[in-house]
Amino acid sequence: MSKDVKILRLSTGEDIIATVGENDQGTSLTKSFVIIPQQQGPGKPVQLMMVLYAPYAKSDTVTIDKKFIVSSVEPKKEILDTYLQNTSSILQNPGLITENSIPKIDS
């Protein structure tokens, strides 16, 4: 699945991360997010925020015309890992309950 995840730059200037496919109408984007860079202030590191691309759509797949795609790149590992964690239905690293974390009852 992760080999189909791409970052697309659209002609509108948006950077979209999604699982990308092809269909008769154009390029299909599944579980697509807009990547928005944010900086808290001058000299502070830039953080990336991901916002749903089509939050009001009935389906999680959007098809766009190929003519609106300016470029397509493989995401960096950190961005890909965050995307997969946010789109996976499997809990990532939930932790385990151990005997050490169970409170002791005084009798």
What's the CA gap between 14 and 33, in Å, rounded?
Answer: 10
> The tokens of 87 are what?
């789109």
Segment 34-48 shows an average pLDDT of 88
pLDDT tier for residue 99 given thresholds of 50, 70 and 90:
very low
Cα 83–chain centre separation:
3
Contact 60, 47 (CB under 8 A): no
* Range of lowest pLDDT (10-19, 28-37, 47-56, 94-103): 94-103
- Residues belonging to the chain: 107
For residue 103, what pLDDT band results from cuts at 50, 70 and 90? low
The residue written with tokens 């005084």 in the block is 106
Burial of 13 (0-12, 13-18, 19+ CB in 10 A): exposed
66-76: pLDDT as tens digits: 999 999 999 99
Mean pLDDT of the chain: 85
pLDDT, tens digit, for every residue of 10-27?
A: 999 999 999 999 999 999
Confidence of residue 96 (pLDDT cuts 50, 70, 90): very low
Between CA 68 and CA 20 the distance in angstroms is: 14
| pTM (two decimals) | 0.76
SS3 21: strand
